[in-house]
Chain A
């Protein structure tokens, strides 16, 4: 497999030498790939704009010893163009990319569901049908589910009892009064309902949630995600929250 072709989303880039970049792409078939793109920082580069984070690309790569080499790129959808003109959406998008990067730790290990989730999440973020932070939280919850860390939300994570009282990150979700460990958070019932709606993709329910429940949900989801990743998501503290969606009339496409 010296030369191969795949489609993927550019997660991040690092500068290399004078004019090159190392590009991290989450591809559909190959999984996460790190590849060198030669000369992309020069203004005359044909690749430059296509290999910016958020861009959904059709890419041809050449297998190298440690890093692959990008030989051809075509843009399928430049999500970055739309996101960068709206700061709250941009920061939410960056947190999505960082999370996708962290959740796919092994390179070249196919992660199709994670890829589809990321493309769906970016598309929803761009179409502006929901508050960016809600889209981000839905992405976090579903990414965790894909990775096998879905939180228990309907019944106690320890004993399976129906009467749940608190949310304990270490226990793996909601817990009943008997199983509740010290220091577990006690969120409002509406917040847990919002988390369930986000995990299932029930957008009408999620969009009607009150601001205080959204804020509480974001806090719990972020803590739960970072505990399971055993790593902080650096871009998370820069994510801005908007109070309302700008284009509420646009039908949602992410289900």
Chain B
């Protein structure tokens, strides 16, 4: 056990995800040895993120203002909405630079066994966004696991009567892998979703 304040810091750092007692100790001693200005910057960043960051009132993504950067951007296509589970998924899709539409963050996936039903997600907000008829396509980009697929099925059933195009992200083989190592479900889906090679 260290002196009160040092131990306190180690305990607090140990609460962070993926940080065990040994890593917490290493970070704490790094901070002790660091330049005071650097530590102040970190402390300021921590406080600022809690004070300023909120959830975008339109899409539910993390935002520094009332609306997030993507919802404020007039160049983004308002006719296409991509539905994701978490804010982290928005970043993953943004990195592809393939999508120019807007997002809707559900805040999780339907998981009845954990007591999470459709009412616990931001589905009502999504329906409100779709109500004015401006959106023509809804891309369901929930995780390709059981809960994500069930959420996509639920949303597709809910939205279909509104007459818009509902699409689901393709599942298939990872780039850079070998075909023989693919599992049968993924390989089956890759076959199902094969496309015409236009050469």
Give the interface of A toward B (CB within 8 A).
12, 17-18, 43-44, 46-50, 52-54, 75, 78, 80-81, 84-87, 90-91, 94-95, 97-98, 234-235, 237-239
A83–B97 Cα distance when bound, in Å, is 34
Cβ–Cβ contact B113 & A47, under 8 A = no
B residues less than 8 Å from A97 (CB atoms): 113
CB distance from B182 to the nearest CB of A (A): 8
Cβ–Cβ contact B154 & A87, under 8 A = yes
CB distance from B133 to the nearest CB of A (A): 25
Cβ–Cβ contact A90 & B153, under 8 A = yes
Cβ–Cβ contact A52 & B145, under 8 A = yes
B132 adjacent to chain A (CB < 8 Å): no
Name which of B117, B146, B150 has the most chain A CB atoms within 10 A of its CB: B146
B residues less than 8 Å from A234 (CB atoms): 112-115
Question: Nearest residue in A to B185 (C-beta to C-beta)?
Answer: A49
B residues less than 8 Å from A87 (CB atoms): 150, 153-154, 157
Cβ–Cβ contact B146 & A80, under 8 A = yes
Cβ–Cβ contact A84 & B149, under 8 A = yes
> Nearest 3 CB-CB pairs, A to B?
A235-B112, A49-B185, A238-B112
A residues less than 8 Å from B117 (CB atoms): 237-238
A54–B115 Cα distance when bound, in Å, is 18
B residues less than 8 Å from A98 (CB atoms): 112-113
B residues less than 8 Å from A46 (CB atoms): 181-183
CB distance from B15 to the nearest CB of A (A): 15
A54–B149 Cα distance when bound, in Å, is 13
Cβ–Cβ contact A50 & B113, under 8 A = no
User: Given A84-B149, A87-B157, A90-B150 in contact, is the A50-B183 Cβ separation under 8 Å?
Assistant: yes
Cβ–Cβ contact A84 & B114, under 8 A = no
A-B contact pairs, 16 of them (CB 8 A): A12-B113, A17-B18, A43-B174, A50-B185, A54-B146, A75-B185, A84-B146, A84-B149, A84-B150, A87-B150, A98-B112, A234-B112, A234-B113, A234-B115, A237-B117, A239-B112
CB distance from A81 to the nearest CB of B (A): 7
B residues less than 8 Å from A237 (CB atoms): 117
B residues less than 8 Å from A80 (CB atoms): 146, 149
A18–B182 Cα distance when bound, in Å, is 22
B residues less than 8 Å from A50 (CB atoms): 183, 185
**Scoring B residues 17 to 45 as 1 if CB is less than 8 Å from chain A, else 0, what string do you get?**
01000000000000000000000000000
B8 adjacent to chain A (CB < 8 Å): no
CB distance from B101 to the nearest CB of A (A): 23
A residues less than 8 Å from B18 (CB atoms): 17-18
CB distance from A45 to the nearest CB of B (A): 8
Question: Nearest residue in A to B149 (C-beta to C-beta)?
Answer: A84
B184 adjacent to chain A (CB < 8 Å): yes
